[in-house]
């Protein structure tokens, strides 16, 4: 990189503008230049009327003053303001840090007007700690580069420009400050749910007449186990060795979260629905809503209560395939109706409910390929065991592992085991395909059964409602993947819930960005947009002066073409560069 000046004459005056530029070699051996930082004008003229001044903040006393900058090799005129001569040969670029994604997070925060909600609830402390900025730091970290609070304190804050954007120093990222901020959040959870609902209606016209409900789990890597809500239970993360908590989440078909709850890790899905319905009605009132759930959540009793309530609660749920066996004959006489290419449905009304049998060609090919692949691997493994001829006890252990890997495909084989006193060989240990079960499985592949009390709706509408359940699954995927809600290292229940609350806030910002991208830059994911903006860095340009001081210009890099295109598409404008600062301290080369 090097300094480059451009001279421009205007109205009889000569102006010289400075930039930091880098060379790039391209095809054909050519070298092109890219402007990295724009520093602005440093006066060359010796006529006072031509001189340009800038406002500089002193780091010693915080006072600001107008000064004129001149290169050290020029004579300076007599001016009404301070005149500073800088040594351009001593220019240094120091402390590069990620700026663009932090700035985008602040823009999303402003779009949701979260300052209006949090400012009266997170008042500054008597010692001057601005808790609102601490919360912004936590949410920004969770959205951009998630990890533990200790990592934020030790590493991330110094490598990001969130302090520059918030006007804060390192005290905002002290570990004790971060934990104390977590302790202040949970009391405002319910109020935040209602506030966000109003903002999303105002910004995007979101409707809340169809709600998706599902549960997931997230695990811990901390001791001691099984304290408070941390319990062993069914792990959706394939970590049964770790204690966990269960998270119940409600989102709209567009992915906007309405509410969530943190439950003990051994909570059964079937026990959560009734209480959650009551909480939603208590907070948002009764309304004509449609609840969409997976098959493992509602029980027959809870569905009966939803139908029998004073104002019936509408539902659409997946149904276990065992019920399809009971209704198979009734469906035989019903005609198929196409709802989408390669998707057909049948409708059956029974006992005040409607059953929708869906047949998807794409799902058929997927399930059939998975079943064939698992069955093939299982048969190969069984042949290997026949050749190895292990002891009977070893065989049983290895069969257990093969059964776990094969899943449901294991039951498609008839396996004969040797007696306790028999050796293991191809005669005593045999297997064969159960063709009756295979025919039954083939008939059901690519088909699934839905159940609802919306008897007046078209089957195509019910099917479209149900496939929207993928949005809540996507929400869990983003919480666990992009926002790294797992693993949790906190041990107190209130800190555990506060950790999840911060992740929820970060997810709200991500959903807002997703909706903006969907309308203005379709095809780009929120994570891809954040990564593009993260390439915008901020550096400190240090210019030593002839009087022993140092002028510091904090500058963010210029956006490249694709970044500028994204800014234009999202209708965003980068802010002005921060004001220069001057200090009397001698800064080291490694500053």
pLDDT at 586: 55
Q: Are 52 and 39 in contact (CB under 8 A)?
A: no
| Dist CA 252 CA 287 (whole Å) | 15
Look at the block and give the residue holding tokens 């890997």. 405
Does residue 429 belong to any structural domain of this protein? Answer: yes
Q: Cβ distance 161 to 533 under 8 Å?
A: no
Write out pLDDT tens, residues 525-578: 999 999 999 999 999 988 888 888 888 889 999 899 999 999 999 999 999 888
Predicted local distance difference test score (pLDDT) of residue 238? 87
Asked whether the beta carbons of 496 and 230 are under 8 A apart, the reply is yes
- β partners of residue 353: 350
Q: Give residue-wise pLDDT tens across range 371-407.
A: 999 999 999 999 999 988 889 899 999 999 999 999 9
Whole-angstrom CA distances from 100 to 65, 103, 269 are: 29, 5, 41
Residue for token pair 């209006």: 116
Q: Is residue 104 part of a domain?
A: no
Please name the residue that has the structure tokens 């390439």: 535
Per-residue pLDDT, 590: 39
The token duo for 314 is 């509408």
Question: What pLDDT is attached to residue 591?
Answer: 40
Cβ-based neighbours of 10, under 8 Å, separated by 6 or more: none
- The first and second tokens of residue 71, run together, are 């290169």
Helix extents (H) in 223-360: 273-284, 300-308, 321-332
What span, in angstroms and rounded, lies between the C-alpha atoms of 384 and 48?
Answer: 93
Q: Rounded distance, CA 449 to CA 441, Å?
A: 15
- Within-domain flag for 49: yes
**Is it true that the peptide bond before 140 is cis, omega within 30 degrees of 0?**
no
In a domain, 437, yes or no: yes
What is the reported pLDDT for 469?
87
**Does any domain span residue 245?**
no
Strand order in the sheet with 447-452: 257-264, 244-251, 210-219, 290-293, 314-319, 447-452, 353-360, 343-350, 337-340
Last residue of a domain, one of 91, 108, 129: 91
d(CA 529, CA 553): 27
Domain extent for 403: 363-444
| 568: its two tokens | 């234009």
Q: How far is CA 315 from CA 14, 249, 350, 357, 570, in A?
A: 74, 16, 15, 16, 37
- Whether 15 is in a domain gets the answer yes
pTM confidence score: 0.83
The total of structural domains in the chain comes to 2
HEC secondary structure over 218-255 = EEECCCCCCCCCCECCCCCCCCCCCCEEEEEEEECCCC
DSSP string covering 15-57, please?
Answer: EEEEEEEEEEE-GGG-EEEEEEEEEEE-----SGGG--EEEEE
Q: Distance between terminal CA atoms of the chain?
A: 18
Whole-number percent of the chain with pLDDT over 90:
44
Among 444, 470, 497, residue at a domain's last position: 444
- Report DSSP letters for 389-409, one per residue: ---HHHHHHHHHHHHHHHGGG
Whether residue 508 contacts residue 112, with contact meaning beta carbons closer than 8 Å, is answered with yes
324 in Cβ contact with 338 (< 8 Å): no
Print pLDDT tens along the chain (591 aa).
Answer: 677 778 777 766 677 777 777 787 777 778 777 777 777 766 655 554 445 666 766 666 667 777 777 777 776 766 667 777 888 888 888 899 999 999 999 999 999 999 999 999 999 999 889 999 999 999 999 999 999 999 999 999 999 999 999 999 999 999 999 999 999 999 999 999 999 999 999 999 998 888 999 999 999 987 667 778 999 999 988 888 889 999 999 999 989 999 999 999 999 988 888 888 888 888 887 777 889 998 889 888 888 888 887 777 899 998 887 788 888 888 888 888 888 888 898 888 888 889 988 989 998 999 999 999 999 999 999 999 998 888 989 999 999 999 999 998 999 999 999 988 888 888 899 999 999 999 988 988 888 889 998 888 888 888 888 888 888 888 999 999 888 898 888 888 999 999 999 999 999 999 999 999 999 999 899 999 999 999 999 999 888 888 888 888 899 998 999 999 999 999 999 998 888 888 876 554 434
| Bridge partner residues of 64 (DSSP) | 57
Calculate the CA dihedral of residues 457, 463, 464, 470 and round it to 10 degrees: 140
SS3 of 97-112: EECHHHHHHHHHHHHC
Domain closes at, from 425, 444, 463? 444
Closest CA to 139 of 502, 486, 484: 502
Report if residue 48 sits inside a domain: yes
Distance (Å, rounded) from C-alpha 274 to C-alpha 355?
A: 22
Domain assignment present for residue 428? The answer is yes
């Amino acid at each position: 990189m090097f300094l480059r000046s451009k001279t421009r004459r205007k109205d009889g005056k000569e102006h010289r503008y400075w930039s930091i530029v880098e060379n790039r070699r391209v095809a054909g051996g050519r070298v092109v230049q890219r402007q990295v930082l724009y520093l602005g004008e440093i006066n060359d003229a010796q006529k006072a009327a031509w001189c340009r001044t800038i406002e500089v903040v002193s780091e010693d006393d915080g006072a600001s003053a107008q000064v004129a900058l001149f290169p050290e090799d020029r004579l300076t005129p007599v001016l009404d303001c301070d005149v500073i001569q800088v040594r351009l040969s001593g220019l240094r670029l120091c402390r590069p840090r990620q700026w663009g994604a932090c700035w985008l997070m602040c823009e999303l925060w402003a779009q949701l007007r979260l300052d209006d909600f949090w400012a009266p609830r997170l008042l500054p402390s008597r010692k001057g700690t601005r808790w609102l900025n601490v919360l912004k730091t936590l949410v920004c970290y969770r959205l951009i580069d998630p990890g533990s609070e200790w990592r934020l304190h030790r590493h991330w804050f110094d490598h990001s420009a969130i302090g520059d954007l918030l006007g804060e120093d390192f005290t905002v990222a002290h570990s004790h400050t971060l934990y104390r901020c977590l302790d202040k959040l949970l009391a405002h959870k319910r109020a935040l749910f209602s506030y966000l609902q109003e903002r999303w209606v105002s910004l995007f016209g979101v409707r809340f007449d169809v709600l998706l409900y599902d549960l997931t789990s997230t695990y811990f890597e901390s001791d001691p186990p099984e304290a408070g809500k941390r319990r062993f239970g069914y792990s959706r993360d394939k970590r049964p060795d770790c204690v966990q908590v269960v998270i119940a989440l409600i989102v709209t078909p567009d992915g906007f979260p309405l509410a969530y709850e943190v439950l003990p890790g051994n909570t059964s899905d079937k026990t959560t629905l009734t209480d959650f319905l009551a909480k939603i009605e208590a907070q948002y009132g009764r309304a004509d809503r449609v609840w969409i759930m997976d098959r493992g959540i509602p029980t027959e009793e809870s569905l009966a209560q939803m139908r029998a309530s004073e104002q019936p609660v509408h539902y659409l749920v997946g149904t276990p395939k065992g019920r399809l066996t009971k209704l198979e004959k009734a469906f035989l006489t019903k005609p198929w109706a196409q709802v989408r290419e390669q998707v057909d449905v049948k409708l059956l009304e029974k006992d005040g409910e409607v059953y929708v049998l869906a047949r998807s060609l794409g799902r058929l090919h997927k399930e059939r390929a998975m079943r064939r692949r698992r069955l093939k691997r299982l048969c190969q493994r069984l042949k290997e065991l026949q050749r190895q001829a292990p002891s009977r006890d070893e065989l049983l252990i290895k069969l257990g592992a093969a059964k776990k890997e094969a899943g449901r495909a294991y039951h498609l084989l008839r396996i004969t085991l040797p007696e306790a006193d028999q050796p293991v060989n191809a005669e005593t240990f045999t297997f064969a395909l159960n063709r009756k079960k295979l025919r039954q499985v083939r008939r059901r592949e690519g088909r699934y059964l839905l159940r609802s009390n919306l008897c007046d709706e078209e089957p195509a509408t019910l099917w479209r409602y149900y496939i929207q359940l993928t949005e809540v699954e996507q929400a869990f995927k983003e919480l666990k993947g992009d926002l790294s809600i797992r693993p949790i290292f906190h041990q107190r229940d209130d800190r555990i819930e506060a950790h999840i609350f911060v992740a929820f806030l970060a997810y709200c910002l991500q959903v807002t960005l997703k909706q903006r991208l969907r309308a203005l830059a379709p095809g780009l994911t929120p994570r891809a947009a954040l990564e593009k903006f993260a390439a915008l860095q901020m550096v400190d340009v240090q210019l030593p002066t002839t009087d022993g001081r140092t002028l510091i210009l904090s500058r963010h890099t210029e956006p490249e073409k694709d970044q500028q295109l994204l800014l234009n598409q999202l209708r965003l404008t980068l802010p002005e560069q921060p004001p220069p600062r001057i200090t009397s301290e001698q800064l080291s080369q490694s500053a």
